[in-house]
Structure 1
Amino acid sequence: MQRMLKGPGSLLDAQGNLTDIGWARQPVLDCNLDKTHFYALRFMQWMRIKRWDYYALTTPTHFFSFTISDVGYLGSIFAYVIDFETGDYHEETLTIPFAAGVQLPRNSSKGNSHFANKRASLDFNRESGGHKINVSWPGFGGSGLNANLRLALAPTHESMVIVIPIRGKRFYYNRKINCLPASGQVDYQGKHFDITPATCLGSLDWGRGVWEYNSFWVWASASGFLPDRRTIGLNLGFGFGDTSAAGENAFILNGKVHKLEEVKFQYDSKNFMKPWHMTGTDGRLDLEFTPFFERVAKTDAKVLSSEVHQMFGRYNGRLVSDSGEKIDVQNLVGFAEEHHAKW
């Protein structure tokens, strides 16, 4: 499960086949979705291509999330806020037929993402040294949600990049960046939040690909600090596709990816609030995740349906670095989710 992507090059060849599969620490393949070819009629491909930029911000007291996505026949624009202390939670979604007005860049390292209508405006801009996030959602929660953020991204900061084949010329190209030092401000429910990199970290889930209509996955993530103030991120998961060449399991220590083999998840799908247990088959990860909040998001738009149980909680346990360092994880706030989708 450790095959490295070679790059540089294109993701797809002229016939729509993946040129390579595996993982990398930085994006090395050009996401040329125009070469996608799994239907006989090429113009039909775009109805099945999925693209999204999902940004998250973890602060000592809140979790803020902003997403622009295009699933082919629909656009989904959503934001949600969770108060860790009170459990207050609010989420709003805009469903846009045929993703009209949704702009998403070809690649994760440059270009801008944008959507605006009478209800909300979201801008995600890549710039030298980081990403800028500007959100204006006047009616969100009745009092509005506004964010002006910068997530710093040093050239040496590594991310978890993966290319996974899915049967029938389908595929998943994904980049997840954890532990981005965040600065700026958020205004919500009459409160002003100053965002500083000493306590606040952002993350990005950048996804592009073509899935089977009926899909399932489990994903676990966190961006936080160790007691010695080094940053620690988690990216763990399983589900769709062929991960024999490479999976997405890794932890990110001070901006460096430490790749893991398969991770086994033990949890109760009838009671997600029970503790989860995650163990690495290579002996380098042993974590218990104790949820304190459950976010349930359901969508039923006839041709598209989705149900996600996203648990927020605290990770405790042990990691082992590439060099053999044993790392104690204590009360690291993050999430773990189970997602079923027909899309």
Structure 2
Amino acid sequence: MQVELTQPGVLLNPDGNLAQVGWSRQPLLDCNLEQARFYALKPLQRFRLKRWDYYAVFTPRRFFSATIADLGYAGNLFVYTLDFETGELHEEGIVVPLARGVSLPRNSTEGVSAFADDRLQMTFEVLPNERRVKVNWGAFHEGRGIHADIRLQCLPEYESMNIVIPIGRRRFYFNRKINCLPAEGILRYGGVSETLDPHICLGSLDWGCGVWEYRSYWNWASASGFLPDGRTVGLNLGCGFGDLSRADENALILQNRIHKLEGVRFEYTSGDYMKPWRFRDAQGRLDLVFTPFKERVARTNLGIIFSEVHQMFGRYQGKAVTDDGEEVLIHDLIGFAEEHHARW
């Protein structure tokens, strides 16, 4: 049984346990991480808390993504971009010991995420009715440089996929994802400059925090695009870690409204990721085939700290049924699906 949360409150009780478990259409919980109690020695807790602010933008030509993350023991800043026509994919990242200089807001609804040094400047700002993403990385890809100043429309009535679930006894996952945010602004990569038109360009947000088991695994799939009739359509699908008995993050997003799905299965061949993937849910409302055209592999191996992501870019085909019974036909919707293993 999925539990939909409707009442605002805090994320954690004074004893460190989750105050509520479930999902919601709007962010309702205050991220009071100061109440975390998963270690006896409180000063050690900051090294296990993970927080991140991730943006992705789809244009007709390109995928662009930028992330500011605080992993507790380190900050992680990374940007990557994929040209759909040529297949060129490039990614660069910076690791900052103890996350020095990384700033993230308490909640997803306000504030600024930022990092700046002599190599890179990144600022993600929440403004009235929009979110602004600014990146300036002059040395990106051997001096070609990447620069972005993008405004993502985010009206108060837009629904988002919010989830809070336990991981074991004292650990948890708290996440907000917003799909299909109309994007406008400028994106420059090397000698190529794009002016983003909100009628054909869409962005998405992945904002969250949590405390994972040391060995963790998950799947995530996401897409934001348009139907032939001009309506926006998005997907957010996930499984893996945590107790999903009361909530998962599976949803169809149509015209910025959440249509909740349950128990979506990721059917794919681990290790042979270019084979088609299939997604089906427990109620018969979702049946999609995802055909990859590009693989992104991001691997970090620092001994006790390890991460490996296989993120596949491809096209979704199939159908999804809304809460009120409308069958939505999906054709050539570009998005991604991933497998992630971590020791962190």
CA–CA separation in structure 1 for the residues paired with 2:65 and 2:305: 22
Partner of 2:213: 212
Deviating beyond 4 angstroms after TM superposition, the runs of 4 or more aligned structure 1 residues are none
- The 8 Å contact of residues 6 and 20 in structure 1, kept in 2 or not, is answered as no
SS at match of 2:115: strand
Q: CA deviation at 1:43?
A: 1.1
| 1:286 correspondence with 2:280 | no
Query: What residue number does 2:27 align with?
Result: 27
Q: Cα RMSD between the aligned structures?
A: 0.7
Matched, 1:38 2:51: no
Q: What fraction of aligned residue pairs are identical, expressed as a percent?
A: 57
For residues 17-49 of structure 1, what are the alpha-carbon distances to aligned partners after superposition, in whole Å with 9 as ceiling and x for unaligned? 100000000000000001000110111111100
The separation in 1 between residues aligned to 2:22 and 2:341, in whole angstroms, is 24
1:179 aligns with 2:180: yes
Q: What are the within-5 Å matches in structure 2 for residues 86-165 of structure 1?
A: 86-142=86-142, 143-165=144-166
Matched residues, number: 343
Deviations 1:243-301 (A, max 9, x none): 00011000100000000110111101121000001111111000000000000000112
Q: Say whether the 8 Å CA contact 1:113–1:125 is kept in structure 2.
A: yes
| CA drift at 1:303 | 3.2
* 246-255 or 6-15: bigger deviation: 6-15
For the residues of structure 2 that align with 1:138 and 1:336, how far apart are their CA atoms?
30
Residue 237 of structure 1 and its aligned partner are, at CA, apart by: 1.0
Q: 1:7, 1:122 → 2: CA distance?
A: 34
Instruction: Provide the rounded CA distance (Å) in 2 between the counterparts of 1:225 and 1:136.
Output: 29
Task: Write the letter of the residue equivalent to 2:84.
Answer: F
Q: How far apart, in 1, do the equivalents of 2:54 and 2:302 lie? A: 21
Give the AA of the match of 1:54: Y
Residue identity matched to 1:42: K
Q: Is the Cα contact below 8 Å between 1:265 and 1:279 reproduced in 2?
A: yes
2:46 match: secondary structure: helix
- Provide Cα deviations, 1:199-225, integer angstroms capped at 9, x if missing partner: 100000001111111100000000000
1:66 aligns with 2:66: yes
Q: Which residue of 2 aligns with 1:82?
A: 82
**Partners of 2:300 and 2:77 in 1: how far apart?**
13
Partner of 1:12: 12
Deviation at 1:139, TM superposition (A): 0.3
Q: CA deviation at 1:168?
A: 2.8
2:243 match: 242
CA distance in 2, matches of 1:14, 1:266: 40
Q: Which amino acid aligns with 2:65?
A: S
Query: CA shift at 1:101, angstroms?
Result: 0.3
SS in 1 for 2:125: strand
Structure 2: distance between partners of 1:146 and 1:329: 32
Q: Paired residue for 1:257?
A: 258
Instruction: Tell me, in whole angstroms, the C-alpha distance in 1 between the residues paired with 2:41 and 2:182.
Output: 45
Using the TM superposition, give the Cα deviation of residue 2 of structure 1 relative to its aligned residue in structure 2, in angstroms: 2.0
Give the equivalent residue in structure 2 for 1:193.
194
| Alignment-derived partner of residue 48 in structure 1 | 48
Aligned amino acid, residue 51 of structure 2: R
Gaps of 5+ in 1: none
**Separation of aligned partners in 1, 2:340 and 2:167:** 17
Question: Matched residues in 2 for 1:118 and 1:154: separation?
Answer: 34
AA in 2 matched with 1:134: K
* Unmatched tracts of structure 2, length 5 or more: none
| Shift in Å, 1:61 | 1.1
Determine if the alignment matches structure 1 residue 306 to structure 2 residue 307.
yes
How high is the TM-score relative to the length of structure 1?
0.99
Structure 1 residue 7 displacement after superposition:
2.6
